[in-house]
Every structure is written in structure tokens, then in C-alpha cells.
Chains A and B, each alone.
Chain A
Amino acid sequence: MSIKDKVAIIGMGCTSFGEHWDKSASDLLVEAAYEALEDAGLEPRDIQAYWLGTCASGWAGISLSEPLKIQYRPVTRVENFCATGTDAFRNACYAVAAGAYDIAMAIGVEKLKDSGYSGLVITPPPGDGTAPNYSAPAAFSLLAPAYFKKYGLDPETGKLVLARIAYKNHKNGALNPKAQFRQEVPLEKILNSPIVAAPLGIMDCSGVADGAAAAIIVRSEDAKKFKKDPVYVKAISVVCGPGHGALHQDFDFTSIRETYYAGLDAYRQAGITNPRKEISMAEVHDCFTPTELVIYEDLGFSERGKAWQDVLNGVFDLDGELPVNPDGGLKSFGHPIGASGLRMLYEMYLQLRGLAGPRQIDNPKLGLTHNLGGFPWEAVCSVCIVGKETG
């Protein structure tokens, strides 16, 4: 069973990401939705069903139907931590593939800058208050000392590897007019940024931003009626883990199992056996620099224990063997949770159609997107693979 080549994207929209003080979540949804509609050459009435991904910027499908004035059509609100946007896309794809609808929209939004808090704040359900109150960077920084120790990196080398990842993503983001941060950042500045969760400095962390992105999905056989160069879905995997790493001593914090298993499932669906060679480019969940480091190994882009060398050798640079985060990543875009997965697909959609401007990668065939929500020991992970041709 596979979703491969069953559905295609015929239109996308993506707002700029950043501090949209003058726009509400509704404003962002209207912008992303209409950009996607115009791109597909469709009217609002053409969309038969919607999946709205938002983690905390609204409840129920009404959060979308009210601003868009949707005329009594199905809207499903999806929440799955940082995989929210991709899971909205997954559900829209499945509904179209199943024949329940001919045309569906997946749209994701997050309005984070209204909270006034630093970092992400997600209100948990009432509990006994004993859950450790670590910040998100602290949770992901647990990967760093474990990885350094296992593979024999001294702290300086380890820190340099992490900084090199942030450097690459900002360099790519500087070429992207929709990014929150559009400047290259010198390696020295990254290395010396104030410590947030040792060894991570503030420049090892993605930003907090507002944004929205949308995709319109039809069955592959219909795609060319709408668009001469649609983008075909090759695989979608969403994996949730058992929280193994927080309970069991055999988890060593140098890998995130949900990423590994989601990758495995996606490669099976797409028929990929050598991801390093077959994947042309990837957008991965660089919430914090050590996350991106272990993703390389979990997705099979690097051998175990070798990702750090690949980073230093520029393998994942825009002009490298396997460019990762060509649009600048979460590092340059911030992470409006519900929107990020669709923002990543938007970059693949541009790249596969040769429309990525100064970031354009030479003739890419397959693009991979990856989101990771939760924590290294207890996560939800999504992996999508899209391509410019069927077959």
C-alpha cells in the first residue's frame, strides 16, 4: 500500500513568515488560501473539503470557515504538534485519493507572537504538576552531549558542527524573500551567541514567527487539467512513538527513533533504497541544530556517527551533494507550528518546478520534507516525499 503518485499538488500559497503584529491568524489564513487558489486558477467554491492544521491558534474547523466564509463545506482541524501542517496535508491527500472529494485544500497557520512569552508555550491539560519544566531547547540539547560523547567529538568540535548547521541555514535563508531572517550570520557570531541550554546558544535555536501556508490537492490523473507542472506525492508517513527514550535505558539520545521509522516507511512507499543518492533535496525540522544533526543519520543521509563530518564537508550546503533546508529552514523562517510542514512543501513545490530563484537547485527530481514534534524521547514525526514526475 502506498500513496505514491495517487495525488498531486496543483496550487500553493505561503505568507512571509515573521512578526506579523498587524495580522491575525485569520488574516494569514486568508492570504495563504487565496494565494494557493490563484496559483491553481480556482475559486473558493471549487474546494470541496478543507483540512486546517493549527496547534494552538484556533479551535475547530470554524477557525478556517469563518475567515474564508466557506459555504457549508467540511473543515477538519488537525493538531499533531510540529507535524500538524503535514498531517493536515496527509489527510487531505487521503480523502482525495479515496475519491471522497476531487479537490481539497490543506492549510496550516500559527500566530505565536501574540502570546508575549519567549519561546513556545503550549498549555498542557490539568495535571499533577510534576512534569519537569524544561524549555524546548533544553529538551533537544540533551542530544548534543550524548552525541559528542558517543562519537568522540570534543566540545569545541561539537559546537562548531552545530554552528555550521545554523550557518548553512541562514545562508540559504538570506536568499529567500519569505523568510523571517534574511541575513547570513557569521560562524563566529553563532559560536559566541548567549547560552540558552548548554551547549546551545540562542543562534542554535529556530525563531518564533507567525505564518500560514496552503496546498490544493487533486488526483494525479486530473492534475494536468489544472497545472502544466504539478508536483506528485510519492510518500507520506506520520509516526508516533511510545515514549521509549524517557523510560528505557537502551535509548542513547544520539538518534530520534520516530524520524528513523517515518523515513523507513516513506522510503518504502516511494520505492527508495538509497536516500543519499535518490533524494535531490530535503527540508528537515531544524528546530535546534543538534536535531538537524541526528536527522541526517536517522533519514539515512549520513552513516551513523558520520553526519558531523558530512556537515563540516558541506554535503548539505545549497551547492552540496544533498542540499538540506534550501529555503533557510526553521532557522530562517521561525516555526509557526501548523504552517511549517506546508511551508517546507512550498519550497519543494518551487524547486521541483524550477521557480526557486537564486536558491534553485539544479534539476531536482525528488524532494523530502520532515517534521518532528515533541521531544527526542517521545515524538511525532512526519516525512513526505514529492516529485516532479510520476513513475
Chain B
Amino acid sequence: MAGITAYGAYIPFNRLDRRRLTEAFGEPAPPGEKAVANYDEDSVTMAVEAARDCLNGLSPAALSGVYFATTTPPYREKQSATTVAAALDAPENVRTADFTSTLRAGSTALLAAADAVRADGGSVLVAVADCRPAAAKGHFEQLFGDAAAAFVVGTENVLAEIEGWCSVAGDVLTQWREAEDRYVRTWEERFITSRGYAPLVTRALASLAAKLQLTPADIKKIALYAPSPRYHTGMALALGFRQDQIQDGLFDRVGLAGAAHAPLLLAAALEEAEPGDRILMVTFGEGAEAILFRATEKIKDFSPRRGVSGHLASKKNTMNYLTYLRWKNMLDFEPPRRPDPDRPSVPAMWRNARRNLAFYGSRCNRCGTPQIPAQRVCVHCQARDEMAPYRFADLSARIATYTIDHLTFSHDPPVVFAVVDFEGGGRLLCEMTDCDPGRVEIGMEVEMTFRRLYRAGGIHNYYWKARPRR
């Protein structure tokens, strides 16, 4: 029996109140707010955060695969699943794959993971994240939000069994982005829904219903992708579902999260599922995919670290529209009179990958002092080469002292740098993110989060920062 054995989610801390869009353009915007990836977040970092939420203490050593699904990978050529796997400290002999270029990427990755574990056993982590680019003042800018969801697919300790699935391919241009396009393009909505979305989704569900001999009444919740809130409810009702069976689309709190949208709704549905509940996830993009899950008794024994509900509750929605434009790299700001960052040295990145991605330091075998970065000579007892690897990623920490730097370059000045002391020993001077500078204080509890420091020379440089505990 293949199915989900763990799940989690990630929603960025920052939200844009859509009233800021109304103020900027003097035109009505949909209600609520949308989740906005910080300038130091991208699909990879959000996937890592969702995966950490999902693993929640489970050992990454048990993973046999790490799949990453998105329409917004950082590179056109270079896999990102390897970055996700490394940040999670997955074993070296893990199978990695990127699923991309389609809004269906998440469900396709889940089905591939299910195929893999049915064939070979093991556990495959699927992390789906998206931060789709939308041009200013447009419908997509109002609609799109950034988010991620992650699942472990396996055959043991399954908490939501895959009962059936159906894929339908349909090569219709609805929304697309060429390599050089900065923003998502679309054909007119009436065409894409009447000749794309509605018929393809209907066909997939009809086929699945026939295969499994099920009707909408047998389903507890439908986690349905839709190109907009209007079609979300309309499509579900047209398919024969009642209002109370529709998993909240989160359009007013997260926005439309691209390939991650339906997976995020699936994670939300799983958070509330009882044993025996059937949850139907439906995705769309050049075709449609439907996967039917049925919760087992084990659903009661699992909860993600924060999940959808925890992340929804942990937020800051005071950002203004100019900050939004800056984070999305849509507005040129005057550069500071400081040198541009050099492109990182690839050999140095390679040597330090275990620290930079999995966040390992070392612990002295002689005196027991943890230290990061890993040292050859112990800072405490000066023993040479008596270190064991020691991972700091999931340790809680407290601020020993801090500064609010108005001089250094940032897309979100001022920058808070903090000296953080890890529970159990070890200290790091690092940048903070997702924090309100005015509220930082000595003794504040922080946790580590995987971020993109900067891009230079076409290289995305990932590392860890501290944030106030969410």
C-alpha cells in the first residue's frame, strides 16, 4: 500500500494586504492578503522549509528519493532537488529529480514517488513550492501567492493511502512563460476555463470515478486547483460536490500558489482528516491529474511541526507595496556606495557544502564543545582533529547580542545581525530574517531557516539565517 507517510507545509511569514494594491492603483482588489516570499526566499528555500515541517524529527537518513516540483526553479540548467536533499541532510545515494514547467508538477511528482515506492520500497520526499512572477497592476499580481507543501511517500506507516489516480494530457495553451519572459502570460479567462480547465478536470474525475466506482458523496474533501477563486467553487459545485466538501482555497490568506496550490490544500485537508476520510486532490496544467487519498488510523499519530494552520497564524502583514516590488525585483533602487557582492567561489561552496546546506558544524570529542563552522582545532580545548560532525539546523537558539545595520546593502534594510547561542552549546553570528528590528532583544528565542543569501554571476547562494521562533 503506497501513500503519504508524513506531510508538512510552508507559508512565508510576510503577507501583502491586498488593500495596498488598491491604494497603489486606485482599482479594486480581491479581499484579504497574499503570502509573499521574502527577498531571500525562492522555490528552493520554501521547499526546504516545507520538507523540514514535514520531517519534524523523522530521520532524513531513511529517504530513498527527494523530488522537487515547481514552475519557478532558480536555474534553467542545474537540478534543485539536489540542493533540497542536501539541505535536509538526505543520504548521498538518494534519487533526486526536478518536476517543472507545468502547474501539474506537484501531482506528477507525487505519482512518480508512488510508482517508485511501489516498485522498490523506500521513502520518497516530494517538496512542491512556487513563487510565480506576476506583472505589476495585473490580475495575477492580485491573485498569486507564494507557498510550499511537502510529503513523504512510502509503503509503511501510511497515513493516507493512495486509492487511485488519473492523468489526462491536453496540450492547450492557457498560461505560459517562455524562457525570457519575466511574468506569466495568459489567454483570456473564458477560453482557458471553458476549453481547458473545465473539460480536462471533468474528464480526469469522470475517469477516476468510473475506475473506482465512487461518487462525490464518497469524498470528504476536494483539494482543487483552480485558476481563480470564482472557478474554484464553481467547478467543484459543477462536479457535484457540496460547498462543505470543498477544501478552503486560501485565496484570501495565501493566494494562488501555482504548482503548490492543490498540494497545500491537500496538506490542510490532512490536518483535519479522520481515519477513513477520502481526500481528492486535483491539479491542472496542460491536462489534469486527480489523486484520491484515504486516511488510515495512522493519521491520528502524525502532525507536522507547524503545518498549514500554524503557518497561516504566524505572519506579518504590514509590508507596503514598494517593499513588495523591491522583493520581487521589479523596481530598481539606487545602489549603495558599496561594492557589489562577488560571485561565490564554486570550489569553496563545494568544500563547505555540508555546513552551508545541511548546516553541520563539529563537536569536540575531547571536551564536547559544539562549534560552527566545523573547526580543525577546538576553540575550547585546542585539541587537533578530534571533531565529530554536529548538525545545528534544528536546534533552538537565543540571542546573545545583536545590531541593526543601516549601512550594509539589503533588499530589506535595515539588516539585523545577531549572535545566536544554540541550545547545548555553539554560537553563530548570522543574519536575521522575517523579524521586526524594533522587537529584537537579548535572550529572544530564534530558529534557523534556509535562505538564499544573494545571486551573483548566475549563482544562487544558499545558507542559513536566524528568525524569531514562528
Which residues in A have some Cβ–Cβ distance to B below 8 Å?
A: 116-119, 121, 123, 126-130, 132-135, 137-139, 141-143, 145-146, 149, 195-198, 242-244, 246-249, 251-253, 377
Contacts and interface: CB of A to CB of B under 8 A. Distances in A.
A198 B403 contact: yes
A129 B421 contact: no
Given A117-B338, A118-B337, A248 B380 contact: yes
25 contacts: A116-B337, A118-B407, A119-B407, A127-B344, A128-B351, A128-B352, A129-B341, A129-B342, A130-B344, A130-B355, A132-B431, A133-B408, A133-B409, A134-B405, A134-B429, A138-B404, A139-B403, A145-B403, A197-B404, A197-B405, A197-B406, A198-B437, A247-B427, A249-B421, A253-B419
Interface of B: 336-339, 341-345, 348-349, 351-352, 355-356, 369, 371-372, 375, 379-380, 400-409, 414-415, 417, 419, 421, 425-431, 437, 442, 453-454, 456, 461, 463
Contacts of A149: 442
Contact of A121 (B339, B352, B379): B339
Nearest to B350: A128
A247 B369 CA distance: 10
B441 to A, nearest CB: 8
B403 A197 contact: yes
Contacts of B401: 142-143, 145-146, 253
Nearest to A140: B403
A247 B372 CA distance: 7
A195 B402 contact: no
Nearest to A132: B431
Given A129-B341, A137-B405, 13 more contacts: A116-B337, A117-B338, A118-B336, A121-B338, A127-B348, A128-B356, A132-B430, A145-B442, A197-B405, A198-B406, A247-B375, A247-B427, A248-B369
Nearest to A201: B406
A131 to B, nearest CB: 9
A118 B400 CA distance: 29
Nearest to A136: B407
Contact of B463 (A130, A139, A247): A130
Contact of A246 (B348, B402, B403, B429): B429
A148 to B, nearest CB: 9
B408 A138 contact: yes
B453 A252 contact: no
A248 B379 contact: yes
A310 to B, nearest CB: 23
A146 B343 CA distance: 34
Contacts of A252: 400
B113 to A, nearest CB: 32
A196 B405 CA distance: 6
B427 A246 contact: yes
Nearest to B429: A246
A141 to B, nearest CB: 4
Nearest to A119: B407
Contacts of A119: 338, 407
A252 B421 CA distance: 11
A33 B414 CA distance: 43
Nearest to A127: B348
Given A138-B405, A249-B425, A129 B419 contact: no
B405 A130 contact: no
A84 B431 CA distance: 29
Given A117-B337, A377-B429, A127 B407 contact: no
B336 to A, nearest CB: 7
Contacts of B402: 142, 145
B159 to A, nearest CB: 37
B352 A130 contact: yes
**Those 5 A-B pairs whose CB atoms lie nearest each other, nearest first:** A129-B344, A138-B405, A198-B404, A135-B407, A128-B348
Contacts of B429: 132, 134, 246, 377
Contact of A196 (B406, B427, B456): B406
A308 B393 CA distance: 39
B400 A146 contact: yes
Nearest to A147: B401
Given A246-B429, A249-B421, A196 B407 contact: yes
A246 B421 CA distance: 10
Contacts of A116: 337
A237 B14 CA distance: 51
A121 B402 CA distance: 22
Contacts of A126: 342, 345, 348
B345 A127 contact: yes
B215 to A, nearest CB: 55
Contacts of B348: 126-129
Nearest to B341: A129
B458 to A, nearest CB: 13
A142 B425 contact: no
Given A117-B339, A253-B400, A128 B417 contact: no
A243 B379 contact: yes
A244 B427 CA distance: 10
B393 to A, nearest CB: 14
